[in-house]
C-alpha cells in the first residue's frame, strides 16, 4: 500500500470517529448538563423567561436536530453565535487564535529543540555528573507549580527589573513582541522539565537495545552510535510526544493568558466558563477533538518516513 492510499483510508476512518466524538459532546452538553437556561438566568427565573431563552438558543428543538447541528459544525465550522456576546463563534476563535499562537508556537519550538538537545547530551554522559545534575533539575522544575513561575517572573523580571511588560497585548507585528517574550520564557521553563525527562528516558531505552551492543562490538564510537543510530530509532516516541502536544498550542495556555492579559483562546475558554457560554465551550470541544484526530493521523504518516520498520497495512 502506498502512502497516498494509506492517507485516504485513514481519512475515511476519521468520519466515524468524528460522529462518535460529536455524539459524546452532544450527550455531555445537551443531555447530562443541567438546563442551560436555569444556569444563565438563575434560580429565580420564571418558567416563561426560561421558555423564551430556550427558544432563542434553539434548545426547544428535537434532540436529533440539535445533534445534527453539532455534527454539521464539525465539518462546516459554523458554530453559530455566542450565547453571551452574540458574536459569531468562529470569528471569536479566529481572533483568539493569533494571540495564542504568537507565544505558544515559539515557546513550543524552543522548548522542544532545547530539551531534545540536552537529552542527547545527557544520554551521551549517562550515569555521570552531568546526567544526574539534569535529572535533579528536571524533578525540581516539575515539582514547582506553574502559578509560582508566573507570579515570580512577573514580580521579579517585569515589576522589579522592568525587563518585560507585566501585562497586555497589541495586535500586529512587531507590536506584540514585547508582550509575549516573558510568556514564551515561562512556557519554555514549564515544558523543559517534562520534555527533558521524557526524551532522556527514550534515548536511554534505545541505548540499551541489542543493536547498540552490536554497533559497539563493530568498533563504532559512542558519538556515531548515539547520533546516527539511537537518535534515528528514537524518533517514533519523539514524534508521538511532539505531535500530540500541537493541539494544546491551539488551545493556548489558560493561566499564562489570563495573568498576562493575552486575549487568546485560553482567555476565551475561561470567559466562556465564567459566563456559562455553552455555545463557545461546545465549539472549542469540537475543534480540540478535530485537532487531536488530525495530528494523530499526521503522526502515523510520519512514522513511515522516519522508520522503515513501520509498514503501511
CATH number at residue 177: 1.10.3720.10
Which pLDDT value is given to residue 183? 92
* Domain assignment of residue 34, yes or no: no
Q: Report yes or no: 172 and 189 within 8 Å, Cβ to Cβ.
A: no
260: closest CA among 180, 192, 163, 189? 180
Which pLDDT value is given to residue 231? 81
* Domain assignment of residue 65, yes or no: no
Which pLDDT value is given to residue 313? 56
Q: What is the distance between the alpha carbons of residues 17 and 13, in angstroms, rounded to a whole number?
A: 7
Give me the domain span that covers residue 262.
Answer: 89-276
pTM of the prediction?
0.83
* Domain assignment of residue 139, yes or no: yes
* Domain assignment of residue 49, yes or no: no
The domain total for the chain is 1
Which pLDDT value is given to residue 106? 92
Which pLDDT value is given to residue 184? 93
The angle subtended at Cα 256 by Cα 155 and Cα 179, nearest 5°, is 70
Distances (CA, A) of 195 to 25, 62, 108, 165, 187: 31, 47, 10, 27, 12
Burial of 296 (0-12, 13-18, 19+ CB in 10 A): middle
Spans of the chain, pLDDT less than 50: none
* Domain assignment of residue 39, yes or no: no
143: closest CA among 133, 135, 151? 135
* Domain assignment of residue 66, yes or no: no
Which pLDDT value is given to residue 153? 92
Q: What is the distance between the alpha carbons of residues 95 and 89, in angstroms, rounded to a whole number?
A: 10
* Domain assignment of residue 182, yes or no: yes
Beta bridge partners of 81: 88
Amino acid at each position: 500500500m502506498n502512502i497516498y492510499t494509506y492517507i485516504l483510508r485513514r481519512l475515511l476512518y476519521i468520519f466515524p470517529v468524528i460522529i462518535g466524538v460529536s455524539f459524546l459532546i452532544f450527550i455531555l452538553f445537551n443531555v447530562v448538563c443541567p438546563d442551560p437556561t436555569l444556569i444563565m438566568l438563575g434560580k429565580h427565573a420564571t418558567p416563561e423567561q426560561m421558555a423564551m431563552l430556550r427558544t432563542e438558543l434553539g434548545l426547544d428543538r428535537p434532540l436529533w436536530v440539535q445533534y445534527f447541528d453539532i455534527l454539521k459544525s464539525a465539518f462546516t465550522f459554523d458554530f453559530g453565535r455566542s450565547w453571551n456576546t452574540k458574536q459569531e463563534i468562529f470569528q471569536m476563535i479566529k481572533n483568539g487564535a493569533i494571540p495564542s499562537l504568537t507565544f505558544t508556537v515559539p515557546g513550543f519550538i524552543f522548548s522542544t529543540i532545547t530539551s531534545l538537545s540536552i537529552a542527547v547530551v545527557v544520554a551521551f554522559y549517562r550515569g555521570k555528573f552531568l546526567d544526574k545534575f539534569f535529572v535533579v533539575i528536571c524533578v525540581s522544575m516539575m515539582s514547582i507549580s506553574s502559578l509560582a513561575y508566573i507570579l515570580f517572573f512577573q514580580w521579579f523580571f517585569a515589576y522589579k527589573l522592568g525587563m518585560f511588560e507585566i501585562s497586555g497585548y497589541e495586535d500586529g507585528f512587531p507590536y506584540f513582541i514585547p508582550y509575549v517574550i516573558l510568556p514564551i520564557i515561562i512556557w519554555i521553563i514549564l515544558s523543559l522539565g517534562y520534555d527533558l525527562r521524557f526524551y532522556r528516558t527514550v534515548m536511554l531505552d534505545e541505548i540499551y537495545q541489542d543493536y547498540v551492543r552490536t554497533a559497539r562490538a563493530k568498533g563504532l564510537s559512542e558519538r556515531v552510535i548515539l547520533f546516527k543510530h539511537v537518535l534515528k530509532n528514537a524518533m517514533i516516541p519523539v514524534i508521538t510526544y511532539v505531535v500530540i502536544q500541537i493541539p494544546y498550542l491551539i488551545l493556548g495556555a489558560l493561566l499564562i493568558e489570563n495573568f498576562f492579559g493575552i486575549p487568546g483562546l485560553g482567555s476565551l475558554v475561561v470567559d466562556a466558563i465564567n459566563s456559562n457560554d455553552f455555545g463557545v465551550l461546545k465549539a472549542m470541544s469540537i475543534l480540540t477533538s478535530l485537532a487531536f484526530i488530525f495530528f494523530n493521523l499526521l503522526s502515523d504518516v510520519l512514522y513511515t518516513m522516519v522508520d522503515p520498520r513501520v509498514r503501511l497495512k
